[in-house]
Every structure is written in C-alpha cells, then in structure tokens.
A and B are shown apart, each in its own frame.
Chain A
C-alpha cells in the first residue's frame, strides 16, 4: 500500500450575502459566529485521531475572510495542538475581495497560511453586479496587492465563464488581466445553474440568457490557449498552475487520498469510510457530540471506480502501474471494452504507462467516467 496524503478541510459557512449562482451551505447570520467556532473547536477536539501526519490544511466557505481573524486563529491553534503537522506542505485560506483589510491578511500569514485563494470570478464590473458579488474590480487589485505585500507567494484566483450574456471578448479581457497580475494558480468554472439559486428562478422564468454550448466550448479553448501561453499548465479539468504550484490539498481529493472535514456540511474520507457532517447550522451549533451516525462505507468496488473517475480529472491521468499496486486492478484488462469505445471517439489516450482523457474527453468527461461504473 502506498502512503496516502492526508488533508484537513475546515468549513466556514458565513457570507455577507448569497451570490446569485451559489447553492453552497452558507449563512449571513454573523450573530452565530462565535457559537459556531466553539462547536468547531469541540468537533476537532473530539476527533479520534490515528496519528498520521497531516499534509495540507484548507479553510473554505462561505467566506472565511468575513469572520473574525481571532476565530480562525483559534482553529489553527487547535489543529496544531491536536494533529501532527510536521509534514504540512500547504495551508490555504479562501478570501473574497473587499472583505479583508491589511490587518487580517497579515494575520493569516502570521498564523501559518502560505496560500491564498481569492474568489475573483471576473474583473468585469457589470458582470460582478449580475453575479451578485459584493466586490468591484478595484477591490480585487487591492486585495491581491495586499496579499503580496504581507508575504503570500502562492496566490490563486477563481474565474467564471459561461455567464449570462457572456462573450469571448469578456473572457479574453479577464484572462489578460489575470496574466498581468503575476499569480501562481487559476481555477476556472463554467456557470452551472443550480436549483435553489436566484439564477435558477430567473432561468425558470426564461429571463436568463446563457451562452450556447458552442460558445462554452470555445471559451474553454480560449482559456487553454491563453493560459498555456503564460506558462500556466492545465493540471485538472478546471485548474491551471505554474510549475510546482498545483493545489496540493485539492490533489488529495483527485488522488483519492484521505481527508478530515470539520464544520458544517463538510465531508471526511478516512480509509474506507466517508462521512458528511450536519448541514443545518442551528442543529450543528446545538450538537452535544459528534458521533458519526450516517457513515457511508466505501466498498472496494467504489474505491476503484472513484480512483478512476477522480484520476481521469487530472491531465497526467492515471498511472497504470501505481493503480495496479494500489487497487490490484489492471485497468486495461478489466475495462478493455470501455477503453475501446472511448478510443474510438478520441476521448482517451492510453499507452503502457497511463490512461488519460483528451481535451475532447475532458469536455464529455461525465459520459466517459460513467462508463467505468458497474
């Protein structure tokens, strides 16, 4: 058995306001913040820790930068006290432009965060308004400059495309600006209209004008082309990084490794067990124990299938020998028929060493991945 990496995810479910596309579990009631953190600390405390050293920590949300930095620090201290962080290689916090001042960004750096992920989404003032973001274009530059000033050398931004009324010109401008900012990592997401969001309601009413499939495909092509020109390599379906700056925490997910999730609605996967936390904020802050009642057992078969569909997300694909060593499965033998079908439509590349999706395969990855399920 290879040694797995282990990550820790901390969920901070507070946001100043809900964005029009967002269906994440988040709340605007900061009155519950302190209670929430008390419970979060308790949850970490009660973990039955097996002593395996932790490799990455990730604070996500919600908007972690909208809560008091002191609360973040309490969690960091708790993690240091409870877990073996001697092998820690990455510690990320998500922030949103316009939500943190000089002071707090500096504090994150001092606490030990070495990577910052900024929810930019777009540099287009009008589009930011349409998305229901609370920041403007100038806030973004301010935040990025601040982060650099306090010492962050690993900065990632999120960009969205396929937005209402979107165009290649808008995307091209966004990418151009991003390239001028001297960043290390960019995540790019096509808009998905999820039930329960404001966009969903608008779509039902027929007033949301979204780009056609053709344009979305061209947008992805533009992203690939432009970013590679500036030495950002695509390493996952939606993620691009300069050499060595791939998100180590997120690679844990895609490598099907283990992770502890703490906080509302977070997911843990430890060996063959998966667990999703309570998603109701009021219930969470009133919990008196963190016994895991709804554990999902990941069967051997599930583990293999997830190993495949997560591995296929990566540009490096699946290393066939590693896969054989870890899962005792010869992919080429077991999935001979599936591989044949996918080869025929040019969705995969397979040789003696590895199996991976082509650019086209990435665009239809659901179709490809579903074929590996039993």
Chain B
C-alpha cells in the first residue's frame, strides 16, 4: 500500500508564453520520467496545434518519481492546466484535484490578469502556492521586482519563491524540493466509499472514453462497478492506470492518487469534467462540490465549401466531440450556404481550435460564419425564446425586445494605458464598475461589457492599444435588455442569411457601412456587377458595388510564357476553390468573417 505521505499532487499556473510547458518538460526530464532521447520539446502539449500556438488545449497528467534530499522517494503527480479564459472551468477542476500549485510568472512580464484569476481559483481550492519566477536568463528579467509584485498584488508570502530559467534548467531541483516540502500530502480515507474527481477525459479508440481522476476517498480497480453522479450512468471498470506520462496499467488507484479509469464508456459526455465517480454497490452520499455542465457561450455556423463534404464534416465533428464534451453541434440550413452545422463553443479560442482541427486533421474546407452569442428574445405574446443565430430571430413585428449576455471583465493594465482602455470599453458599450491600483503602476479595471462586443475585436484592440501590456479575464454576468437590431446584408438584391448579424442600434449604421465597404474589398469581381447593401428591415443603410469583370486576358503567350501562364491560371483556379458559390456569386471564406475585422470603429 502506498504511503500517502510520499505523494504530492500539483499543477502549474501560468500565463500563455510564461514558460509553463517548458518548465514542465524540465521537471519531467530531471526526474527521468521520460528518457531524454524520447523528449520532444513541450511534452505536455501533444497536439501539433498546441505546440505551434504554444498553448495547452487538452489536459495532460504525468507521474514523476523524485529522490528528495531527505533521502525519501516521492511520487509527484503533475496535472497540466489549459491557460486560456475559454477553459476556466477545466482549470478550476484540475486545481481541485491538487494540493499545491506552482505559480509561474515571467521575470520580465510580471503578473497577468489570467494568472491572477487562476491564482484566486487556486486559493479558493486551498492550494499551497509556490511562486516560481521564470525566464531569469533574459536580459530584461527583473525577478526581484516581479517577486515584490506577487507579494503586493496577491498578498502571497514570497520568501520561498524560486528563480528559474526553464530554458537553461536553472532552479529545477529547487522546484522539486519545494514541491516535496511545501505541498501538503493528500488526505483521504482508503476505507470510505469510492469518491473520485474527474478533472479531464480523453477518448481512446480501443478503451473508450477514459476518465482522468483524482481519487479522493476509497479505491478503484478492474471489475468494479462505478456510477457517475451527474448522469447516474453505471459502468464496469475494465482498466485503471497511471500516467508515466504514457498510460501504465496498475492494479488499483487509491485515495490521494491520480490516474485514469477505463470502463468501456462510449462518449466523453458520459464522463464529464467535474463530475464525481463513486462505486455502484457502495456509493458515497454526496458528490464533490463544483460540478457544472460546460455551457457554450459562442456559436457559429460551419459549412463545407463543397456541399459534398457535408457528411465528412458531420463525421469529423462527431469524432472531435468524442474528445471534447463542450463542443455542441446540430444541423443547420442556410439559404446561402446550404447544409451545415450550428456549433457551440466555450469561447473564441475554442472555436478557432475546432475550426483549425477540422481543416487540418480532417482536410475539410470550411466557411465559418461570424460568431454569435445567445440572445433572449421576448416576444409580444409574452413568451421568450433563446437564439444563437441572427437567422433564428423571428419577424420584428413579433418581437417585443431582446436581451444580450454580459460579462464582468477584469483588465489588468499599466497605469499609463488606463485612459485608452477606458475609451475602448466605452466604445464597446461597457459600463464602468471599478478601478483598483494593485501596485503603484498597475491597475485592474472592471467593466460590465456585452459578450457580443468581446467576441468581436475587443481582445485584438485591447492588445494593440496597449502595446500588448493589457491582459483580460472575464466571467459571464447574466443577460440584460438592450436595443438591438438585425443587420442584413444583400448581395445582388438577395439577403445572405449567413452574413446577417445582430448589433446595437446605435452602431448599426456605422457597422453597416463598414461591413459593406469591407465586403466590396473582399468579394472579387464577377462576370456581372454585384451590388452590396446593408439593411435594417427594409431600409437600406449602405450600398456599394463590385464592378463586373470585363477584361482578364494575358495577351502575350509564347513558349517561355506557358509555364507562367499555367501557374497564373492555377492560382486563379485555386482562389476559386476557397470561394463559396452563393447563388451566382462567388464569395470568399473571409467575407463571412468580415464583420470581425472591421477597422476603425
């Protein structure tokens, strides 16, 4: 029987780019959990997309053996956390599976809003926090200043802070020693009924959906019947194992341990993150606190450019969903785009990732329509309905008013940018809530903002207006009544449903004009003239025209020109492949996202 006093469960909290994955690699390498020759860089981020973008999408866990200076051998379980606001809930669950956290802060960047939000989550979960100041090898590093900042902002005792460079490996041993010393050993009752927290799930083609769990009480082994609290569904355990970091089968998992459970579960939706697993024969009385069903906040339409790819798209979405319970989709029909799917995502990043994986891993060419939030429509007959697409909005005569979702946004920013950030928030229909100096030079601004504005270009604007110094965190803050209208776009006189959007009345004119002008730039000349109009109801508020293509000829074509001519024609043809045929008009992919990239509001 494993002695709990030898186990340490911890995670790493860090802002994107602050070096979490590299640091994790150093720890793994140092403890020899993976042979050095098998190390790919950034072991925990296994998907190509994760490595390329430097982000963690899917959680991973790894078990390390460490011989500490006190002469004892410890088992360290590192539970990885995603570093993006879209995945806040996942983060909170992996934190709940740990007793301690490394707070990794870049020695030249300092604390960011996202980090702060996650630190508070960790503190709520009573985690012991070890500050780690990373990238001290950089010339611009100011570790002492950052250390002070951590103390000032979070109020953490930083006397045990560790200065490291994950790049050079400096400080790795100190971190491991600190984990052993400061992170409390797990407490749990072997004899109590099984109680396990699902902090992630993963789909394995042979074993089905795997639950990644932290055993709180009791134990689990092969053959045992388990029950999921959220769904009440029961399964028979076929295998339990640990992460080394590759899966390794073990006889049992006991209180305090971290591992996976396979039980021929067909869908990850049946092993939901945050849910509690217990024994079917001898269940615990209450589940663990904090389970929430993941709710998509952002919706968009996904359509194959080539209608023949509809079934491929459906298969691909189903496969992605096997591993991503928060991805929702249902069939949708657009008069402009044909058959596709309305998909729900946790946030914009989640949306981009799914889209990119569909295109890359499943080789699909897609049209993505502009993202929409969920509006509550109050109808004149007193009933309400929820819509996640402008196309679902009923006839205006039937609509009394609309409500849109709001978020409470915390923006952390150096004080010299306060003015510009306030302007931006104002511009995005924000309502000021609070401003707090967390250090003499750093400010946290709190605003109530429409989610619909956040998912447009808010984040890009924030970054560009503050030279990248601002960071943003937000949480949903209910729906509120708002003066919203549906803005339609017409091409050659036909409303293109996929281009409609719901916007605030005060912004409708400006956005209509900007959108029409952007579309004129994006839509290539066709063989006939294409008028582009923006309209609210029957009232046209903006109009431009894409002139007809009347001349497209290469007059000189002799021996030496033929290859060149061929390439030119191929390019032309290739360009067309990325176009969606809407009626007689060829519309490029980007046009459907144009509303996201309107300049100068």
A363 and B563 contacting across the interface, CB-CB below 8 Å: no
- Closest CB-CB distance, B573 to chain A, in whole Å? 5
B549, B559, B576 interface centre (most CB from chain A within 10 Å): B559
Instruction: Select A363's contact among B550, B557, B558, beta carbons within 8 Å.
Output: B550
A-side contacts of B553, CB under 8 Å: 190, 237, 362-366
A-side contacts of B573, CB under 8 Å: 370-371, 373
A364 and B570 contacting across the interface, CB-CB below 8 Å: no
| Residue of chain A at shortest CB distance from B576 | A370
B551 and A213 contacting across the interface, CB-CB below 8 Å: yes
**A266 contacts the other chain (Cβ, under 8 Å)?**
yes
CA distance A169 to B291 in the complex (A): 81
**A306 contacts the other chain (Cβ, under 8 Å)?**
yes
**A91 contacts the other chain (Cβ, under 8 Å)?**
no
CA distance A135 to B519 in the complex (A): 47
- Enumerate B553-578 residues with CB–CB distance to A below 8 Å: 553-560, 562-563, 565-566, 568-570, 572-573, 576
**A9 contacts the other chain (Cβ, under 8 Å)?**
yes
**B552 contacts the other chain (Cβ, under 8 Å)?**
yes
B-side contacts of A213, CB under 8 Å: 550-551
**A134 contacts the other chain (Cβ, under 8 Å)?**
no
**A259 contacts the other chain (Cβ, under 8 Å)?**
yes
CA distance A217 to B321 in the complex (A): 55
**A309 contacts the other chain (Cβ, under 8 Å)?**
yes
A-side contacts of B558, CB under 8 Å: 250, 253
| Residue of chain B at shortest CB distance from A363 | B551
CA distance A244 to B553 in the complex (A): 26
**A133 contacts the other chain (Cβ, under 8 Å)?**
no
- Closest CB-CB distance, B496 to chain A, in whole Å? 22
A365 and B527 contacting across the interface, CB-CB below 8 Å: no
Instruction: Select B562's contact among A188, A267, A345, A364, beta carbons within 8 Å.
Output: A267
**A77 contacts the other chain (Cβ, under 8 Å)?**
no
B-side contacts of A310, CB under 8 Å: 557, 562
A337-374 interface bits toward B, Cβ cutoff 8 Å, 1 = contact, 0 = none: 00000000100000000000000001111110111010
A366 and B555 contacting across the interface, CB-CB below 8 Å: no
- Closest CB-CB distance, A192 to chain B, in whole Å? 8
A-side contacts of B550, CB under 8 Å: 213-214, 217, 363-364
- Closest CB-CB distance, A171 to chain B, in whole Å? 15
A277-307 interface bits toward B, Cβ cutoff 8 Å, 1 = contact, 0 = none: 0000000000000000000100000100110
A-side contacts of B549, CB under 8 Å: 364, 367
B239-273 interface bits toward A, Cβ cutoff 8 Å, 1 = contact, 0 = none: 00000000000000000000000000000000000
B-side contacts of A9, CB under 8 Å: 559
- Closest CB-CB distance, B172 to chain A, in whole Å? 51
CA distance A364 to B555 in the complex (A): 11
Knowing A362-B553, A363-B550, A366-B554, the reply to whether A259 touches B559 (Cβ < 8 A) is yes
Instruction: Select B527's contact among A189, A237, A364, beta carbons within 8 Å.
Output: A364
Knowing A217-B551, A363-B552, the reply to whether A370 touches B569 (Cβ < 8 A) is yes
| Residue of chain B at shortest CB distance from A366 | B552
CA distance A302 to B562 in the complex (A): 11
A189, A253, A362 interface centre (most CB from chain B within 10 Å): A253
- Closest CB-CB distance, A21 to chain B, in whole Å? 12
Instruction: Select B569's contact among A190, A217, A309, A345, beta carbons within 8 Å.
Output: A309
A7, A254, A309, A369 interface centre (most CB from chain B within 10 Å): A369
- Closest CB-CB distance, B527 to chain A, in whole Å? 5
**A122 contacts the other chain (Cβ, under 8 Å)?**
no
A365 and B560 contacting across the interface, CB-CB below 8 Å: no
CA distance A267 to B562 in the complex (A): 9
B552 and A276 contacting across the interface, CB-CB below 8 Å: no
Given A274-B562, A302-B566, A364-B549, 14 extra CB contacts under 8 A: A189-B555, A250-B558, A259-B559, A267-B559, A267-B563, A276-B563, A296-B563, A309-B569, A310-B557, A363-B550, A363-B552, A364-B550, A364-B552, A370-B572
What are 27 A-B pairs at a CB distance below 8 A?
A7-B559, A189-B555, A216-B551, A217-B551, A237-B553, A253-B557, A253-B558, A261-B560, A267-B562, A274-B562, A306-B566, A313-B557, A363-B550, A364-B527, A364-B550, A364-B551, A364-B553, A366-B553, A366-B568, A366-B569, A366-B572, A367-B527, A367-B549, A367-B572, A370-B572, A373-B570, A373-B573
User: Which 9 A-B residue pairings sit nearest by Cβ, starting from the closest?
Assistant: A238-B555, A370-B572, A267-B560, A366-B552, A370-B569, A370-B573, A373-B573, A364-B552, A365-B553
Residues of chain B touching chain A, judged by Cβ–Cβ distance below 8 Å, are 527, 549-560, 562-563, 565-566, 568-570, 572-573, 576
